Amino acid sequence: MPKATTDRFSRAHQPSAKASSSKSKEGGDSSAIRNPIFNTERFGQHILKNPQTAQTIVEKANLRPTDKVLEVGPGTGNLTVRILETAKHVTAVEMDPRMAAELTKRVQGKPEQRKLEIIIGDFVKADLPYFDVCISNTPYQISSPLVFRLLSHRPLPRVCILMFQREFALRLTAKAGSELWSRLSANVQLYAKVDHIMNVGKANFRPPPKVESSVVRIAPLDPPPPVRFEEFDGMNRILFSRRNKTVHGNFLAKGVIPMLEKNWRTWCSESNQMVDDSVDMKAKVEKVLEETGNAENRAAKMDVDDLLKLLAAFHDVGIHFA
């Protein structure tokens, strides 16, 4: 992967290979499947081509004239040019240098050029500047890393308007007790309010993806709850390994009790606590589950508050998950 850089991209646009060459190799109907200009499939990107959809996405961000915006995966700039109409500044992170060149060409010589900076490289590895709002037609393979990178960024953004595969988006917004409630749902909703905004059909993209898409609004809680993500996620990893199995059953799965005992000994050492070699970790865990009324509960029905209460009860007796 190319190394992320903060340099402004201004290289002249390079024309793509001749269409006749690609047709001779791939067949006459290949243009219906592949992007005719850029090999977007390589980066998991599908360019949003519907102008009304692009306008609606930007409007949902409720941008202010003072806002600095981070855009991930701008492609050829169909969202970018609309963001630039309102925002004070846009930092666009783009993996494909050819698309970055096309975006540069699109604003070249216009007042918007001074308001745009393009970072070429991997969003997950890039050094991010300050931003108030994030807007993204997200390359599908970085959906989860993007969400958690945004939630861990400091200072927190005010809001993020993000497009994902519909199934991923519905998991983000799922509620406890629903079919799609998952570890991802709980982990994200601990740190943010998540709302489904709109569905976006395949025909809105070039090339059309194999799945439908949806746009969600993620508003990080500021200040965030004073909970270590590693602890919360560590417990959820156990509970959601089989979401419809009892909590007691999941904690008795192979390797869980020994892992918790190891963590407990580490915690005792770091806290200058006496380590009792006769401790029965299984009994210790079962006591917490019984006292909190969660032994026969199931992760599929436990909301964020339920999970936080259980985590606090474990911490009270020195049981940790990271």
Q: Which residues are annotated as a binding site for S-adenosyl-L-methionine?
A: 46, 48, 73, 94, 122, 137
First-to-last CA distance in the chain? 31
Contact partners, residue 110, CB within 8 Å, separation at least 6: none
Helix (H, G, I), strand (E, B) or coil at 198: strand
Residue 200 sits at φ, ψ, to 5 deg, of: -130, 120
Tokens representing 191 are 């740190």
For residues 45 and 96, the answer to whether their CB atoms sit within 8 Å is: yes
- Binding-site annotation, residues: 46, 48, 73, 94, 122, 137
Which of 312, 149, 138 minimizes the C-alpha distance to 220? 149
Q: Which residues face 298 on adjacent strands?
A: 246
Task: Compute the distance between CA of residue 191 and CA of residue 187 in angstroms, rounded to an integer.
Answer: 7
Task: Compute the distance between CA of residue 102 and CA of residue 37 in angstroms, rounded to an integer.
Answer: 10
Task: Compute the distance between CA of residue 266 and CA of residue 201 in angstroms, rounded to an integer.
Answer: 51
Residue 123 sits at φ, ψ, to 5 deg, of: -55, -40
Tokens representing 264 are 């407990």
Tokens representing 267 are 């915690």
